[in-house]
Amino acid sequence: MSNEILNDPELQRILVACLDYCSAESCAPTQPVICYKWVARCYHARFGGKFRGFHQSRLGELERLGVLAKDGDTSRGGDRRYYRILDPAALAELLKGCNLN
């Protein structure tokens, strides 16, 4: 896990929202698929107005950091970008130690 994530509470909150979405929905447990719109709903439900939210470019940043990967499934159509969480169990374990109030 990149130190960038460990030092950036906003990225941590986004990752928690990604995991929240996957635990609430019927995601495939090995490589759950997410998109910005789905994660944004979980983000706002969990953190509310306390934080301004996040821009979808932050998911691209998490891809560059190796936490997410673009999902190659283009059969969904539309203009959404889909991502897979590469190691949800390790990510959940890491985030347990973070203070995400």
Query: pLDDT tens track of the chain, all 101 residues?
Result: 567 887 888 899 999 999 999 888 666 666 688 999 999 999 998 888 666 668 889 999 999 999 999 987 655 556 788 999 998 888 888 888 777 65
Residue 30: what pLDDT?
A: 61
Q: Where are the domains of the chain?
A: 3-96
C-alpha 59/C-alpha 15 separation (Å) is 9
Q: Which fold has domain 3-96?
A: Arc Repressor Mutant, subunit A (1.10.10)
Provide the residue count of the chain. Answer: 101
Instruction: Report the pLDDT value the prediction gives residue 46, as an integer from 0 to 100.
Output: 87
Instruction: Return the C-alpha torsion angle 20, 33, 39, 68, nearest 10.
Output: 90
- Quote the pTM value: 0.83
| Residue 28 φ then ψ, to 5° | -65, 125
Closest by CA to 15, choosing from 24, 30, 5, 7, is 5
